Amino acid sequence: MPILEWNDDYSVGVSIIDTEHKQLVGMINKAYDSVKNMEEEKVLKILVKDMCDYAVSHFSTEERFMEKYGYPAHEEHEKMHHDFTVKAEALDLLIKSGNPVEPVKVFKYLADWLRNHILKTDKDLGRFLNEKGVE
Ligand SMILES: [Fe+2]
Ligand SMILES: [Fe+2]
C-alpha cells in the first residue's frame, strides 16, 4: 500500500502539470519502499534515474508555460528546478560511483519537494495560468 495517495489538494489546476506531478507522488512512494525494501539499492538506482528524467521532462513543461505567458516569477521558479536537477544528478553520480546513498534522505528530499515546491511554487504558477485561461 502506498504511503502517499494523490488527492485533489495537490492539484495546481492545470491538467498536464497534475499528470506529471502524479509521477512525483509515485517517486515518493518508491523512495518510501526503498527505505523498507530488501532490494533498496536496486530500487534507489532506478528511482534516481527517474528523478533525472522527471527533471528534464516535467520542468520543461512548466518552463514552456512560464515563457509563453510571461510569468513574472519565472526566474525564481526556474532556479528551484535547477536545484532539483543538480540534486538528482549528484545522487545519480554518487550511486554510479558506488557510494552509499541513504534512501531515507532521498525520501525526505522528495517529500519536501512536494510540500515546498508543488504545493507552493507550482500552485502559484497554476493560479497564474488559470487566469490566462489554461486548465
Ligand atoms: Fe512541478
Ligand atoms: Fe515547478
Domain extent at residue 36: 26-131
> Rounded to the nearest whole angstrom, what is the distance from the C-alpha of residue 81 to the centroid of ligand 2?
6
CA of 39 to the centre of ligand 2 (A): 31
Identify the pLDDT of residue 111.
96
We report the CATH number of the domain holding residue 39 as: 1.20.120.50
Neighbouring residues of the ion ligand 2, judged by CB less than 5 Å: 62, 122
CA end-to-end distance (rounded Å), the chain: 31
Ligand 1 centroid distance, CA of 85 (Å): 12
* Mean pLDDT rounded to a whole number for the chain: 95
The angle, 0 to 180 degrees and rounded to 10, between the axes of the packed helices 40-69 and 74-96 is 160
pLDDT in tens, 24-43: 999 999 999 888 876 667 88
CA distances from 80 to 13, 86, 120 (A): 20, 10, 12
Q: Percent of the chain at pLDDT above 90?
A: 86
pLDDT in tens, 42-87: 888 999 999 999 999 999 999 999 999 999 999 999 999 999 999 9
Ligand 1 center from residue 93 Cα (angstroms): 23
Mean pLDDT of 91-113: 94
CB atoms < 10 A from the CB of 32, how many?
19
CA of 38 to the centre of ligand 1 (A): 30
Domain-located, residue 14: no
Identify whether 7 is part of a domain: no
Structural domains of the chain, count: 1
Gap between the Cα atoms of 100 and 81, Å rounded: 25
Cα–Cα distance for residue pair 77/80, rounded to 1 Å: 5
Determine the distance separating the centroid of ligand 1 and the alpha carbon of 37, expressed in angstroms. 27
Q: Can you give the pLDDT at residue 39?
A: 67
pLDDT (0 to 100) of residue 38: 62
